Amino acid sequence: MNKRKGRQTVFFEVPPIIRATGTVAGKKEGEGPIGKCFDFVTDDALFNEKTWEKAESKFVKTAVSAAIKNANLEPEDIDYLLGGDLINQCTGTTYGIRDFAIPYFGLYGACSTMALSLSLASICIDGGFAKRCAAVTSSHFCSAEKQFRFPLEYGGQRPPSAQWTVTGSACAILEQGGTLKEGVKIEGITTGKIIDKGITDANSMGAAMAPAAADTLITHFKETGRKPSDYDIILSGDLGKVGKSIVIDMVGEAGYDLSQNYNDCGLIIFDGESQDTHSGGSGCACAGLTFCGYIYKLLKEKNIENVLFMATGALQSTLAIQQGESIPGIAHALSIHA
Amino acid sequence: MNKRKGRQTVFFEVPPIIRATGTVAGKKEGEGPIGKCFDFVTDDALFNEKTWEKAESKFVKTAVSAAIKNANLEPEDIDYLLGGDLINQCTGTTYGIRDFAIPYFGLYGACSTMALSLSLASICIDGGFAKRCAAVTSSHFCSAEKQFRFPLEYGGQRPPSAQWTVTGSACAILEQGGTLKEGVKIEGITTGKIIDKGITDANSMGAAMAPAAADTLITHFKETGRKPSDYDIILSGDLGKVGKSIVIDMVGEAGYDLSQNYNDCGLIIFDGESQDTHSGGSGCACAGLTFCGYIYKLLKEKNIENVLFMATGALQSTLAIQQGESIPGIAHALSIHA
């Protein structure tokens, strides 16, 4: 157990390398501040399909294909594919990856899925069970609004705390370390536990997930003996403006100053002012696209040296909320180095 | 990569040990042929809760608590909990494990979840990332019927190919091998890929999953060089009568005779004749309870020496079926020795 730094943190013996990523985004994401970073942007939210759910699956299929192609590989070179999404029974992922015939570990971590899939892919690789893994996730504004809130046609008002589900899919190809001298390396992971502070408002996801995010960050700093300034960037997945400020306060109270280098993917992928996204972006693809499309490239081009990337998930269902349950949050973090 | 036996099969260097299991079942399961094997049986399908979903979460909580207690451990002794279920956003698992504060990897594999969680837990342990993991899953007849088919009050007719979702939850505690001389060991895993042969009938899940089950079994025999008679028992998760006969045919055509020692958990947990369960049991807890409650004890007491345990999942959502999609299947197998 010498890989263990504490209850929630493990470091890898031979840090797995992110060999390539593949990203596909919707129109609004393409028009945002990092829109130029994605492999594909489509203006058609239906992506030439008949339903939002089929479109989301096509986003997944396109992102996985792009990642494999960007890595100069074929599907049969990938030992395991790990992924999931927000839609009931992970429909986007299942139908999106159906044709690749890659051994598949299905995951459910809501918007934490990019970090969840990267974490387990790293474990499979550093543990010696796989040479290469694909980690994938997706979300779609229309399929998510329909499932979690209101039909789009209803035209429901969105309060300022509401976030905007990102449309797109992101996939990363991880490879055994040591085969390449250079590369973006996954040094270690801090795996979250479920934290539920009693929030019941599905229009305030950032607040629901913030305590889990703060818990994972504080745990990471304690277990590694690091401080926030040891990272060039600390990122949360989709807490938005509201959740971000709660995290800064909670982590600050524990003695760690996040004011200098912490941001949220939901505030990077959209320009809240000009794009009317209220508290910011959300959805599995928010952390997925921001990491795989933008942050990964900053690391690869050595514009930054290291990142603490944490995707955050609200593990709630509409049915549980209707039955009076609160929203359980979770956050998984990865320390990633250039 | 010397742990690899082929594209889908890996064997563990130090096979993880199943230290204990915990099982909680509903009334019908308690009255079935293996009803005496479960830790708890409740006559109350609501388990003293207000909704089926809250009841399912309580089943999960009770099974995890029982497993940890049966292992003479505390929740803080468990490094990772891995689990999931059938209900939208894995509600049963999320709310069931919320209070344990164990680092959590959420999974989605539908009824394949018992094998999926055991597989990834074994990887975490043999890879050196965890000393102990808990693998858990659940299903509930009422929450599943309501979500996937019809409201119970509707009293829909069930065709002979239909199966009966098992009510209950099962949890296994896995531990690093080598610390105990004796024990039930997970020797290796064969991880499934998604197989979809175009079945669209939600009342014929066994047929939808059978091709994936056959594919995983044939792959396991090819990659290990073994034959069916090398195992005392070969088990599928919840194919029922219909799916079982398809698997025997498909695997037979590939040259492997399953007629002697192959059975399906759905035909073990219920007596189809007297319990009116048509094609047999189904649901995540079907494979979960049959393995953790019955087969594990046969192994532990050395009544049998080895098992090829394969849980089978139909990764479909009602929405996808309504949109004309077929049902993708997956099957994950584990070779388990006394």
Q: Which two tokens stand for residue A21?
A: 């990523």
In this complex, is the C-beta atom of A196 within 8 Å of any C-beta atom belonging to chain B?
A: yes
Residue B167 DSSP label: P
- Partner residue opposite A325 with nearest CB, options B79, B95, B320: B95
Give me the helices (H) in chain B, please: 27-30, 52-70, 91-97, 113-126, 141-148, 205-224, 240-253, 265-268, 272-275, 284-289, 296-300, 318-322
Q: List b or e across A92-103, with b for residues whose CB sees 16 or more CB atoms inside 10 angstroms.
A: bbbbbbbebbbb
In this complex, is the C-beta atom of B5 within 8 Å of any C-beta atom belonging to chain A?
A: no
Q: What is the pLDDT of residues A77-99, one digit of tens each?
A: 999 999 999 999 999 999 999 99
Residue B1 has pLDDT above 60, yes or no: no
In this prediction the pTM is 0.98
Spatial separation of the C-alpha atoms in residues A18 and A323, rounded to whole Å: 42
Residue A180 has pLDDT above 80, yes or no: no
Spatial separation of the C-alpha atoms in residues B20 and B147, rounded to whole Å: 32
Q: Please answer whether residues A59 and A49 qualify as being in contact, where contact means their C-beta atoms are separated by less than 8 angstroms.
A: no
Q: Which two tokens stand for residue A162?
A: 């509401």
What is the band of B181 on the pLDDT scale with cuts at 50, 70, 90? low
Inter-chain CB proximity A124 and B123 less than 8 Å: yes
What is the band of B159 on the pLDDT scale with cuts at 50, 70, 90? confident
Q: Which residues in chain A have their CB less than 8 angstroms from residue B120's CB?
A: 105, 120
Spatial separation of the C-alpha atoms in residues B96 and B98, rounded to whole Å: 6
Inter-chain CB proximity B194 and A90 less than 8 Å: no
What is the band of A249 on the pLDDT scale with cuts at 50, 70, 90? very high
DSSP tally for chain A: helices H, then strands E: 12, 14
Q: Please answer whether residues B205 and B280 qualify as being in contact, where contact means their C-beta atoms are separated by less than 8 angstroms.
A: no
What is the band of B202 on the pLDDT scale with cuts at 50, 70, 90? confident
Spatial separation of the C-alpha atoms in residues A51 and A88, rounded to whole Å: 15
Query: Chain A to chain B, count of Cβ pairs less than 8 Å apart?
Result: 176
Instruction: List phi, psi (to 5°) of B101.
Output: 55, 40
Q: Which residues in chain A have their CB less than 8 angstroms from residue B88's CB?
A: 88-89, 317-319
- Between helix B240-253 and helix B205-224 the angle, nearest 10°, is 40
CA distances from B276 to B32, B239, B270 (A): 11, 16, 9
Spatial separation of the C-alpha atoms in residues A82 and A137, rounded to whole Å: 9
For A336, the 3-state DSSP assignment is strand
Spatial CA neighbour of A245 closest among A256, A259, A255: A259
Spatial separation of the C-alpha atoms in residues B83 and B42, rounded to whole Å: 22
Q: Please answer whether residues B162 and B67 qualify as being in contact, where contact means their C-beta atoms are separated by less than 8 angstroms.
A: no
Of residues A316 and B249, more confidence is placed in B249
In this complex, is the C-beta atom of B11 within 8 Å of any C-beta atom belonging to chain A?
A: no
In this complex, is the C-beta atom of A205 within 8 Å of any C-beta atom belonging to chain B?
A: no
Instruction: List phi, psi (to 5°) of A124.
Output: -60, -40
Q: Tell me which amino acid residue A216 is.
A: T
CA distance B153 to chain A (A): 18
Q: Which residues in chain B have their CB less than 8 angstroms from residue A196's CB?
A: 98
Q: Which two tokens stand for residue B160?
A: 């002979």
What is the band of A231 on the pLDDT scale with cuts at 50, 70, 90? very high
Question: Across the strands, what pairs with A186?
Answer: A336
Q: Which two tokens stand for residue A264?
A: 């949220």
Mean pLDDT within A58-79? 98
- ∠ CA B72-B76-B78, nearest 5°, is 75
Spatial separation of the C-alpha atoms in residues A211 and A208, rounded to whole Å: 7
